[in-house]
A and B are shown apart, each in its own frame.
Chain A
Amino acid sequence: MTRKQKRLALIAGAIGFLGAATGLTLYALGEQTSYFYMPGDLAENPVAAGQRIRLGGLVEKGSIERFDDTHVRFAVTDGSDTVTVRYNGILPDLFREEQGVVTEGVFDGSQIFVADTVLAKHDENYMPREVADSLKEKGVWQEN
Chain B
Amino acid sequence: MSIEFGHFALVLAFALALVQMTVPIIGAQFKNDTLMRVGEPAALTNFMLVALSFMALTSAYIQSDFSVLNVWENSHSAKPLLYKITGTWGNHEGSMLLWVLILVFFGALVAVFGRNLPLSLRANVLGVQGAISCAFMIFILATSNPFARLDPAPMEGRDLNPILQDIGLAVHPPLLYLGYVGFSVAFSFAIAALIEGRLDAAWARWVRPWTLAAWMFLTGGIAMGSYWAYYELGWGGFWFWDPVENASLLPWLGGTALLHSALVMEKRSALKIWTVLLAILTFSLSLLGTFLVRSGVLTSVHAFATDPARGVFILGILVLFIGGSLALFAWRAATLTPGGLFQPISREGALVLNNLVLTTATATVLIGTLYPLLVEAVTGDKISVGAPFFNLTFGPLILPLLVIVPFGPLLAWKRGDIWAVSQRLFWAFGAALVVALLAFVMVDGASVLAALGIGLGVWLVLGALTDLVVKSGFGKAAPSVVFSRFKGLPRSVFGTALAHAGIGLTTIGIISVTTLETERIAAMQPGETVEIEGYNLRFDSLRPFTGPNFTEDQATFVLSRVTGKSLGEVVSSKRLYTARQMPTTEAGIRTLGLSQLYVSLGDQTPNGKIVVRIWWKPMVTLIWLGSLVMMVGGTVSLLDRRLRVGAPMPRRKPAVQGGVA
Answer yes or no: do A and B interact.
Answer: yes
Task: Point out residues on A near B: beta carbons under 8 Å.
Answer: 1, 3, 6-7, 9-10, 13-14, 17-18, 20-21, 24-25, 27-29, 31-36, 52, 54, 66, 68-70, 88-94, 122-130, 132-134
Bound CA–CA A3/B161 (angstroms): 60
A29 engages B388 (CB within 8 Å): no
* Chain A residues closer than 8 Å to B301, beta-carbon distance: 122, 126
* Chain A residues closer than 8 Å to B382, beta-carbon distance: 36, 130, 133-134
B584 engages A93 (CB within 8 Å): yes
* Chain B residues closer than 8 Å to A127, beta-carbon distance: 299
Is B5 an interface residue, CB under 8 A from the partner? no
Is B383 an interface residue, CB under 8 A from the partner? yes
Least Cβ distance of B50 to chain A in Å? 29
Partner of B388, one of A7, A9, A18, A35: A35
Is B337 an interface residue, CB under 8 A from the partner? no
Bound CA–CA A7/B299 (angstroms): 45
Least Cβ distance of B514 to chain A in Å? 14
Bound CA–CA A33/B353 (angstroms): 30
Bound CA–CA A27/B607 (angstroms): 50
A34 engages B580 (CB within 8 Å): no
Partner of A35, one of B352, B353, B363, B385: B385
A34 engages B299 (CB within 8 Å): no
A1 engages B521 (CB within 8 Å): no
Interface residues on B, range: 35 or more
Residues A21 and B364 in contact in the complex (CB < 8 Å), given A31-B392, A90-B600, A90-B602: yes
13 more A-B residue pairs beyond the given contacts A6-B343, A90-B235, with a C-beta to C-beta distance below 8 A: A17-B357, A24-B392, A24-B397, A31-B392, A32-B385, A66-B606, A69-B609, A70-B522, A70-B602, A90-B601, A93-B234, A93-B574, A93-B584
Residues A90 and B574 in contact in the complex (CB < 8 Å), given A17-B360, A33-B385: no
Bound CA–CA A17/B353 (angstroms): 10
Is B611 an interface residue, CB under 8 A from the partner? yes
B360 engages A126 (CB within 8 Å): no
Q: Which of B259-308 contact A (CB under 8 A)?
A: 298-301, 305
Bound CA–CA A13/B354 (angstroms): 12
Residues A69 and B523 in contact in the complex (CB < 8 Å), given A7-B341, A90-B602, A90-B613: yes
Least Cβ distance of A133 to chain B in Å? 6
Least Cβ distance of A106 to chain B in Å? 12
Is B585 an interface residue, CB under 8 A from the partner? yes
* Chain A residues closer than 8 Å to B367, beta-carbon distance: 25, 29
Closest to B237 in A: A117
* Residue among A28, A35, A133 with the highest chain B CB neighbour number at 10 A: A28
* Chain A residues closer than 8 Å to B298, beta-carbon distance: 129
5 pairs across A/B with beta carbons < 8 Å? A9-B344, A10-B344, A25-B368, A66-B605, A89-B611
Partner of A36, one of B234, B384, B521: B384
Partner of A24, one of B343, B396, B603: B396
Least Cβ distance of A69 to chain B in Å? 3
Residues A13 and B585 in contact in the complex (CB < 8 Å), given A32-B386, A69-B611: no
A25 engages B603 (CB within 8 Å): no
Closest to A7 in B: B341
* Chain A residues closer than 8 Å to B383, beta-carbon distance: 33-36
B521 engages A88 (CB within 8 Å): yes
Is B309 an interface residue, CB under 8 A from the partner? no
* Chain A residues closer than 8 Å to B606, beta-carbon distance: 66
Least Cβ distance of A34 to chain B in Å? 6
Bound CA–CA A68/B523 (angstroms): 9
B603 engages A91 (CB within 8 Å): yes
B600 engages A35 (CB within 8 Å): no
Q: Would you give the 0/1 interface string for B244-262, flagging 1 where the beta carbon is closer than 8 Å to chain A?
A: 0000000000000000000
Bound CA–CA A94/B393 (angstroms): 34
Partner of A18, one of B360, B375, B603, B605: B360
Q: Which of B547-594 contact A (CB under 8 A)?
A: 574, 580, 582-585
Closest to B575 in A: A93
Closest to A17 in B: B356
Is B545 an interface residue, CB under 8 A from the partner? no
B574 engages A28 (CB within 8 Å): no
Residues A13 and B388 in contact in the complex (CB < 8 Å), given A21-B363, A21-B397, A93-B584: no
Q: Which 8 A-B pairs have the closest CB atoms?
A: A69-B523, A90-B602, A28-B392, A36-B384, A93-B583, A129-B299, A21-B360, A32-B389
